[in-house]
Structures are given as C-alpha cells and as structure tokens.
C-alpha cells in the first residue's frame, strides 16, 4: 500500500505548527508596532519602524514557506493585536510613548526569538533552517543596536 504523501508525518506536523506559531507571533508583533507608531515620539518611532520592517519581511518569508506546503493562513487582525492597540492608546493618554517602553518591546522580541528557536529546532529542511537562522541573527543584531 502506497504511503499518502498529503498527510504530514509527526515531524512535518510539528514543523508546520512551529511555523504557524512563529507567523502568528510575527503578525501580532507587527500589529503591536502599528499601534505604537500611531502615538510614538519621533525618536522612538524610528526604533519601532526598524523592528516592524524586519518583522514584515520575516512574516512574508514564513508565510511563503507555509504556502509552499499548501497551508492557508487566515488573514485579518489578531484578537491580541486589537487588545494591544487599545492598551497602547490608553497608555498614550497618560504618558509619552518613547524609549520608556523599551523594556516591554524587548520582552516581546524575546517571545519572537523563542518562536524562531522552536521553528528552527523543528525544521529538517536545510534551506528553511538557514533562512530562519538568518532571521534570528538579524533580530539579535537589531536588539543589540537599539536595546543595548
């Protein structure tokens, strides 16, 4: 009996799940940065923009990996993104949105790094691992530049 290649193996399922989790984390982070850009002080807006641009590129790359595997990503804003937007707007009423929110930004980026690590560890495809490792290195470099 021939093996059905359209049904992913356990390893492939883990790899897809890790990529979906990474993509969701990236989309949520981009939405958070969109909210921050609306109210950020100019010096902080540049930092936010740098992270946002990187994550847009990363999310597009991960989405392409998933699409090549036939995985259809749901479009639209995440619930967490909407909640975060409300929190940012409320905070902006009472405080400047500038480098004083760098610590929460770094904490959010640590979650992206964890999702990247999980995806890297779960993927056997050498080219995809290389791409994700390059994405991770770019994020670490950006953190070193802005958060050090």
Domains annotated on the chain, with CATH: 12-147 (1.20.1260.10)
> How far is the C-alpha of 85 from the C-alpha of 30, rounded, in Å?
11
Cβ neighbourhood burial of 62 (10 Å; 0-12, 13-18, 19+): buried
| Side-chain half-sphere exposure of 56, counting CA atoms within 13 A | 10
Q: Using an 8 Å Cβ cutoff, are 37 and 101 in contact?
A: no
pLDDT of 11: 60
Q: Using an 8 Å Cβ cutoff, are 135 and 58 in contact?
A: yes
Ranges under pLDDT 70 in the chain: 1-11, 74-101
pLDDT of 89: 40
Look at residues 46, 17, 58 and name the one whose alpha carbon lies nearest to residue 105.
Answer: 46
pLDDT of 103: 81
pLDDT of 136: 98
Q: What angle do CA 112, 61, 24 make, to 5 degrees?
A: 40
Largest CA distance in the chain: 67
Task: Read off the tokens for 60.
Answer: 């597009």
Q: Check: pTM over 0.85? Answer yes or no.
A: no
């Amino acid at each position: 009996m021939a093996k059905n290649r359209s049904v992913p193996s356990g390893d492939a399922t883990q790899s897809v799940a890790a990529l979906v989790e990474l993509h969701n984390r990236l989309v949520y982070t981009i939405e958070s940065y969109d909210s921050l850009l609306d109210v950020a002080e100019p010096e902080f807006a540049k930092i936010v923009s740098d992270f946002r641009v990187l994550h847009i590129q990363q999310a597009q790359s991960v989405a392409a990996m998933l699409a090549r595997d036939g995985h259809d990503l749901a479009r639209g804003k995440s619930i967490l993104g909407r909640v975060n937007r409300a929190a940012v707007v409320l905070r902006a009423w009472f405080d400047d949105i500038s480098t004083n929110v760098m610590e929460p930004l770094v904490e959010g980026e640590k979650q992206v790094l964890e999702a990247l690590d999980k995806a890297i560890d779960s993927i056997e495809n050498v080219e995809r691992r290389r791409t994700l490792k390059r994405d991770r290195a770019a994020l670490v470099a950006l953190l070193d530049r802005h958060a050090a």
